[in-house]
Structure 1
Amino acid sequence: MSTESSKDKRVVSIELTPTQQEQVFKEIGKSADSIEMSPAELEERIAPRRFQP
């Protein structure tokens, strides 16, 4: 049973430029026109949380 709310199921889709598509192919060996992630994943990539000891 999943406890995810409908808010957690949203997806952000980002279209890749030809240069970005080429970079993705070189890194993972698969072609991609876009990438999709949840808003939380996108936020973590834009502003990662850093814990200071």
Structure 2
Amino acid sequence: MIHVQYVSTFIFYDFFDLGLDNKVSGRCDNCNSSYFKSSVKGGVFLRECRECGMKKSI
């Protein structure tokens, strides 16, 4: 059985949301890309995948 998990690219995910902390380190949890745009806003580190646009708060 294949488990498919849909992840919206329009939502900021926290590090532990949906078990996303268990994915491959340094890769996008949605598309497995390693190309990110990172920023710090309000003391929160945000990482956005440049391939699929998924945003994640670390």
Q: TM-score, normalised by structure 2?
A: 0.23
Higher percent of residues as helix: 1
Higher percent of residues as strand: 2
Q: TM-score, normalised by structure 1?
A: 0.25
